[in-house]
Structure 1
Amino acid sequence: MMVYVIKVGGNVIDNPVLLEQFLADFAKVQGKKILIHGGGKIATRIGDKLGITANYVDGRRITDAATIDVVTMVYGGLVNKQIVAKLQAVGCNAIGLTGADANSIPASKRPVKEIDYGFVGDVVAEELNISSVKLLLDAGLTPVFSPLTHDGKGQILNTNADTIASSLAIALSGSYAVRLIYCFEKKGVLRNAADDDSVINLINRDIYQTLLAEGVLTDGILPKLQNAFNAIESGVKEVLIGHADDVRKNTTDAVAGTLIC
């Protein structure tokens, strides 16, 4: 039995029109499915209103004590519950979760090295409580995970949504055939970042190394590819990177975007 683990990016979350269309399409995906959503810029906007300025280093959010409160409220509350409500409106019986719910996704606080990222979590893969996720799937529910985990000691942690998606897909691959799909605002991995039609349809390890050497891959796509290869090498059947508009097509054999193998 196939399970679709689908991650939707923050730029789609930030665009109400794209998000509405994506959720309508996602609701029509047949079979067992899980949605993981990014945070987008909503936490930054609300933080600004509260006088909490976002701080980034190399494009990564520093999650201090004030910021973890904001992202917990926004990611686990506002964004997650709006998505769940919109899915209910289009006939998808979704349930909103963080990694703390049912102890689904334990994580460890990232150790301080050159940079202190604050309350940022790295998933502890061997401790994922996948049995609770399977119970929800088997009950006909669609889990919707926000990008939040917990450390088992009462602390919520801000965690990369791509990594959460990959970790869940790997954990589920012991029980199901899993297709992991990363949906964002591009048609796939692009050979030319300025040309939306320059999609690379297939990437394996050798092609990946060649693209790296040629400097083709941009910083934004590298974490997705690293998570994709980690998933493939850990038992996930298929990984696709493609446009949010193609989510239904990418749950069929007529796939669009970039296939990782």
Structure 2
Amino acid sequence: MHKEKLSIVKIGGNIIEDETALVAFLKLFSSLEGKKILVHGGGRRATIIASKLGIESRMVNGRRITDADTLEVITMVYGGLVNKNIVAKLQALNTDAIGLTGADVNSIKSDKRPVKDIDFGFVGDVKAIAYNSVDKLIQADFTPVFCAITHDGNGQLLNTNADTIASQVAVGMSNLYETSIYYCFEFNGVLRDINDKNSVVKHIDSKVYKELLEQGVIVDGMLPKLENCFNALRHGVHNINMGNTSMLTQANNNFTTITL
């Protein structure tokens, strides 16, 4: 039986912080055909608001340390300010969006990250997606908009990486749909040469990935991103796309598609 397609689109803080870019992106997202889910971060806005409240943001290896005060700010900013702003703008574009944390309809459960070398505080590692519950919203013609907050099932909210949420939601929903992920970021895709924005590697499979690793093309922050991608593909996701927001249009084919 052929599964219906479902697109999971993830946007980061650089788009959220730029009102013009956000509106342009949401127009593209709302005109994307078929069933879809949006996942957003908001770390930059959280850092700005935290500093206004006199709360210092601490990062280790690009990951935020989430103490109790920081968790309060993140809940306000991700779950409130950013999420509801996006939902309101989507309603204006005739997309009937519903804003969610992982606690809503028990959709995303996490375990608090165990303390090894670093205590990340109230940070969650995703354990389960209630895909049938999320599907009830989709079947009712709502478009879920997830912020980067999950819960542990015992009343505790947890800050969770938005890239991970996108991939885990896609894995969960692949039980019901043919899922594709779109990671929107500032580059046109995975680049052969970081100084040449047009040097996009258009297709990466396991073999090409190995070659790019050996050539030293994939390094630093792209390593965990791509490891995450292949993990999702091995667990049922159909394909993953990386590029700027224009990859959501039919006209642009200059982005990276990742398959097994």
- TM superposition score category, shorter chain reference: over 0.9
In the TM superposition, what is the alpha-carbon distance from 1:160 to its structure 2 partner?
Answer: 0.6
Matching residue of 1:12: 15
> Does 2:161 correspond to 1:172?
no
In the TM superposition, what is the alpha-carbon distance from 1:186 to its structure 2 partner?
Answer: 1.1
For the residues of structure 1 that align with 2:38 and 2:71, how far apart are their CA atoms? 22
- Give the TM-score of the pair, scaled to structure 1: 0.94
Q: Which of 19, 28, 38 is 1:25 aligned to? A: 28
Matching residue of 1:186: 187
Aligned AA (1:215):
G
Contact 1:240–1:260 (8 Å) recurs in 2 = yes
SS in 2 for 1:7: strand
In the TM superposition, what is the alpha-carbon distance from 1:2 to its structure 2 partner?
Answer: 0.5
State the identity %: 53
Aligned AA (1:76):
G
Matching residue of 2:218: 217
1:59-91 alpha-carbon deviations (Å, 9 max, x no partner): 111111110111011001100000000111111
Q: 1:11-160 maps to which residues of 2 (within 5 A)?
A: 11-124=14-127, 127-160=128-161
In the TM superposition, what is the alpha-carbon distance from 1:237 to its structure 2 partner?
Answer: 1.1
Q: CA RMSD in A?
A: 1.3
1:127-153 alpha-carbon deviations (Å, 9 max, x no partner): 321111100100100000000000111
- Name stretches of at least 5 consecutive residues in structure 2 with no aligned partner: none
1:72-131 alpha-carbon deviations (Å, 9 max, x no partner): 11001100000000111111110000000010000000000001111110000xx32111
For the residues of structure 2 that align with 1:191 and 1:215, how far apart are their CA atoms? 9
1:184-217 alpha-carbon deviations (Å, 9 max, x no partner): 1111111112221111111112222222232222
- Give the TM-score of the pair, scaled to structure 2: 0.95
In the TM superposition, what is the alpha-carbon distance from 1:247 to its structure 2 partner?
Answer: 1.6
66-75 or 210-219: bigger deviation = 210-219
How many correspondences in the alignment?
A: 256
In the TM superposition, what is the alpha-carbon distance from 1:260 to its structure 2 partner?
Answer: 0.5
For the residues of structure 1 that align with 2:239 and 2:172, how far apart are their CA atoms? 14
In the TM superposition, what is the alpha-carbon distance from 1:163 to its structure 2 partner?
Answer: 0.6
In the TM superposition, what is the alpha-carbon distance from 1:224 to its structure 2 partner?
Answer: 2.3
In the TM superposition, what is the alpha-carbon distance from 1:19 to its structure 2 partner?
Answer: 0.9
For the residues of structure 2 that align with 1:210 and 1:115, how far apart are their CA atoms? 33
SS in 2 for 1:41: helix
Contact 1:105–1:129 (8 Å) recurs in 2 = yes
Contact 1:192–1:198 (8 Å) recurs in 2 = yes
In the TM superposition, what is the alpha-carbon distance from 1:223 to its structure 2 partner?
Answer: 2.7
Contact 1:119–1:157 (8 Å) recurs in 2 = yes
For the residues of structure 1 that align with 2:177 and 2:36, how far apart are their CA atoms? 11
For the residues of structure 1 that align with 2:35 and 2:28, how far apart are their CA atoms? 15
Contact 1:183–1:247 (8 Å) recurs in 2 = no
156-165 or 240-249: bigger deviation = 240-249
For the residues of structure 2 that align with 1:155 and 1:208, how far apart are their CA atoms? 38
Contact 2:200–2:254 (8 Å) recurs in 1 = no
1:4-47 alpha-carbon deviations (Å, 9 max, x no partner): 11111221112211111000110001111000001140000000
Contact 1:8–1:183 (8 Å) recurs in 2 = yes
Aligned pair in 2 of structure 1 residues 138, 256: CA closer, same or farther (>3 Å)? Answer: farther
For the residues of structure 1 that align with 2:47 and 2:183, how far apart are their CA atoms? 23
For the residues of structure 2 that align with 1:248 and 1:168, how far apart are their CA atoms? 23
Aligned AA (1:30):
E
